[in-house]
Amino acid sequence: MGCGTSVATEKQGETLEQAMKAAVLIQRWYRRYMARLEMRRRYTWNIFQSIEYAGEQDQLQLSSFFTFMLDNFTQLNGNGPDLISQLLDPVVDPWLDRETCYNLIHVPESYTGPRLSFPLSVADTNALLSAFKDQQTLHARYVLQLLYETKKLLKQMPNIVHLSTSYYKEITICGDLHGRLDDLLLIFYKNGLPSAETLYVFNGDFVDRGKKSVEVVILLFAFLLLYPDYMHLNRGNHEDHIMNLRYGFTKEVMQKYKTHGREILQLFQDVFSLLPIATVIDGKILIVHGGISDQTDLDFLSSIERHKVKSALRFPRCSLEHLDISQSCRQTKRTRSTDSSRPSSSRSQNKNQRTPNTRLSRQDSAASTSSSSSSSSSSSSLCSPRTPSCLSPHAFPSSPCMPYSVNVLQVPFLDSLSSVPLPSPSQHEQEWKQIVDILWSDPKIQDGCSPNTFRGGGCYFGPDVTQRLLLQHGLQLLIRSHECKQEGYEFCHNGKVITIFSASNYYEEGSNRGAYVKLGRELVPRFYQYQVSRTTRKLTLTQRVRAAEGSALRALKEKLFAHRSELMAGFQQYDQNNTGRVSVCEWALVLESVLRLDLPWRTLRPHLARLAPDGSLEYQSCFEDMGPGIPLPQVTSNLAETLFRYRTDIEIIFNIIDKDHSGLISIEEFRQTWRLFSTHLGVAIDDSAIDDLARSIDFNKDGSIDFTEFLEAFRVVHKLDSKDQQLHEKMDGEKRTG
């Protein structure tokens, strides 16, 4: 018996040991699998961030173009600058300031949405919440009234709002929402609606990019009107009508409010510029949307008339009269060419630029020292993926050595920069810069303060700048937003700066969490994270990574496609014998220098390009599974590529020209716009090509162009999954009411 038992236990022992070994094995395998997934997630993240910030560079270019158009449009057609200035510098419609303007709008009996009564009550905000959850749209009459009331309220507020925790228990601070209604509702669900017990500060960027910007901002304003003591809003860089033109808010408003959209947008413009720019808690915590610069002066900021800075993208008009942007731009255009390879063009650019430049700089030294963009250039290897690690001559043709000199404003103009001297900045310019710095700056790791070239506005500020400002004003913490973070929040500058970002899944389903931060009397921040899930079934990490990765790679391929000729030129430099192949190393070098995206190209290579049997890379394969949506006849590839690259800008310009928002513009208008635009791109496209294009896209042959159709042609489609895309879009279609 004894023998039997011991054998049994021995066998048991063996089995247990086996089980343990087995378990360890499985665990190791699984952990490895998860780790590789994590790697893919990181690369995907890098791609999204790089592309996003590289894209934002463009909007300042557009702004310069607007300015140029304003100044020169009269020369091109007799219409005068009305077209552009109408939208950019609208004369305040006296109609909109009168109470009767919205009263005159009739709300039909059939309208089943909320009917607000002012002053607002909890019943109204509840009605709005449930209406928006049910995909309803608020009637234009109530939108206008809401905006009008909000404008009245905001006018009474200071630039910097001071809060105290002695009156309120806890304060919740939220970051960017970007039109994500689900995230806002989730925050309210988790944390409670605004009330005396639950104070909120929303730190800007309520609109743009997401599809429900209108609903988000209406809710925020409604709560602001309901509880002006418990609800606080800071202005973000997207509370700006020019940004809205590009990033979707304008379009959303026009689509949801076909009749009154324009009036609504004009009121939004006023309201946005009236939003306070900062909040301070207990005199210790500063909350701003972007960040600070080495010249941020909170006392000065408190004193200015903030509403005068309608948009960060409109340089103070007066200074531009002293500048001759057009002159220096013409110089730039002459030397720039899209097709020639990089080294030779930069040399010729530098040569031609030298003469006007030296003239300018001599003028500079006479002027006084303070200027908008001067700063110590600590440009050596900035860590974030979006900063150019090398300042290639292609991007800065005007200055052969240091791109940033005192008293010279670098005006990005489309693909290049112009050196434009500034006279000593006027009050208006100083105000503009102070506000732009607050709304646009990003923290960086190294000390110092340098212009934020990637964003096109504001600065990169280092820990020393933070330290100095906090000390100067007796503050202990800076809370800001403006940048998407994987975990929804992030510390930097030795814990002195918090970034808080509240739009989860910003790039793609599963890309990041959203977060909000709560402060009690002791002013110790507590973070709460969340992630909105579109599907009820929980997605595994694998599925999320796959979706995000697919999306990121698609975006990356589009970037490659948009720069095809430059890339091909670069590849061909390494392939003198025209074999169609280069080494992986050379391929990576070309991509790096043309796209200026700091990404792990080697690791991404399998997704982007094919290898030949001998291990070399077939570079044409980069562009293989991409193509335009509808094949356009008689369009040269150069034109197609240019149109593709600038399609967002073109869309904006069309939107401006199409005053009645019919979706149609006349062929003549198209021709003129395109001629103007292409002249400044420096793209040599002769008139007959433009005419051919105009004719070929006049699908109805009625003399007008439906530019939605036109843009469709330049929407890049992945040849392999175009069918899937269509299906996806169908399922994703939103109900629209009103």
Residue 397 is inside which H or E element, if any?
A: none
Residue in this structure with the two tokens 């988790």, named with its chain if needed: 190
Instruction: Pick the piece of the chain touching other proteins (CB under 8 A) from 20-28, 254-262, 662-670, 721-729.
Output: 20-28
- Alpha-carbon distance values, 547 to 192, 552, 553 (Å): 32, 9, 10
- State yes or no: is 238 an active-site residue: yes
Is residue 269 within 8 Å of 250, Cβ to Cβ?
Answer: no
Q: How far is CA 635 from CA 312, 435, 685, 696, in A?
A: 36, 44, 11, 9
Please choose, from the candidates 488, 498, 479, 484, the residue with its C-alpha nearest in 3D space to the C-alpha of residue 532: 488
Q: Segment 442-461, which members bind other proteins (CB under 8 A)?
A: 445
- Whether residue 278 contacts residue 298, with contact meaning beta carbons closer than 8 Å, is answered with yes
For 181, the enclosing helix (H) or strand (E) is helix 181-191
Interface of this chain with other proteins, residues 381 to 400, rule: CB under 8 A: 381, 383
| Residue nearer to other proteins on the CB measure, 31 or 351 | 31
Q: Site residues for other proteins, window 573-612 (CB under 8 A)? A: 600, 602-603, 606
For residue 162, how many other CB atoms are within 10 A of its CB?
A: 12
Handedness of CA 340, 344, 346, 352 (dihedral sign): negative
28-36, 126-134, 338-346, 663-671 -> range binding other proteins (CB under 8 A): 28-36
The smaller minimum CB distance to other proteins, of residues 71 and 509, is found at: 509
Find the binder of other proteins among 32, 317, 347, 351 (CB under 8 A). 32
Bridge-based pairing of strands 408-413 and 416-421 is: antiparallel
Which of residues 541, 612, 684, 720 is near other proteins by CB under 8 A?
A: 541
State in angstroms the smallest separation of the CB of 44 from other proteins: 11
Query: Of 10 and 14, which has the nearer Cβ to other proteins?
Result: 14
Is position 351 an interface residue for other proteins (rule: CB under 8 A)?
Answer: no
The secondary element (H helix, E strand) that includes residue 442 is strand 442-443
Q: Which is nearer to other proteins, 36 or 351 (CB)?
A: 36
What are the structure tokens assigned to 473, written together? Answer: 């004003």
- Residue 413 pairs with which residues in a beta bridge? 416
Residue pair 126/226 in contact (Cβ under 8 Å)? The answer is no
Tokens of 278: 């900062």
Closest listed residue to residue 481, CA positions, set 100, 163, 64, 177? 177
Q: Please identify which of the residues 139, 178, 232, 238 carries the catalytic annotation.
A: 238
Binding range to other proteins, per CB under 8 A, among 312-320, 507-515, 537-545, 559-567: 537-545
Q: Does 540 bind other proteins (CB under 8 A)?
A: yes
Q: How far is the CB of 17 from other proteins (least distance, A)?
A: 10
What's the alpha-carbon Rg for the chain, to the nearest Å?
28
Establish if 28 lies at the interface with other proteins (CB under 8 A): yes
In the DSSP assignment, the letter for residue 632 is: P
CB of 19 to other proteins, least distance (A): 6
Q: Which residue, 179 or 385, has its beta carbon nearer to other proteins?
A: 385
| Binding segment (CB under 8 A) for other proteins, from list 95-103, 533-541, 652-660, 679-687 | 533-541
| Per CB under 8 A, 25 contacts other proteins | yes
Q: Which stretch binds other proteins (CB under 8 A): 27-35, 102-110, 509-517, 572-580?
A: 27-35
In the bound complex, what is the minimum distance in angstroms from residue 602's beta carbon to other proteins?
7
Residue type, 696: S
Q: Find the shortest distance in angstroms from Cβ 555 to other proteins.
A: 19
Number of helical (H) and strand (E) elements in the chain, helices listed first? 26, 23
Q: Which residues are catalytic?
A: 238
Q: Which residues bind other proteins (CB under 8 A)?
A: 18-36, 38-39, 42-43, 381, 383, 445, 538, 540-542, 600, 602-603, 606
